[in-house]
Amino acid sequence: MHERITQSSTTSAAAGAGTETCPVRSRWARRIGAAGFMFFLIKGLLWLTVPAAIAVWRGCAAG
């Protein structure tokens, strides 16, 4: 059913063997994972840029 990844296969994949594929076989699961990653990436960037933009707009950064 599920294959276990052994230390030797992860080591060879990390060494650049290129034989390993994505462990998630479901196309929809990969799409949901990618969408979740992009959502949290954009959310994190907004958490950094919005307060900085407000501080610059109000003149707090110059002073």
The pLDDT value given to residue 42: 98
Domain count, the chain: 1
6 within some domain: no
Considering the domain boundaries, does residue 59 fall inside one? yes
Q: Domain for residue 4, yes or no?
A: no
Q: For residue 16, tell me if it sits in a domain.
A: no
- For 52, residues 6+ apart whose C-beta sits below 8 A from its C-beta are 61
Q: Are 34 and 43 in contact (CB under 8 A)?
A: no
Q: What does the pLDDT read at residue 40? A: 98
Enclosing domain of residue 55: 24-63
Tell me whether residue 39 is in a domain.
yes
Looking at the domain assignment, is residue 40 inside a domain?
yes
- Which pLDDT tens digits describe the chain residue by residue (63 residues)? 555 555 554 555 455 566 777 787 888 888 999 999 999 999 999 999 999 999 898 887 665
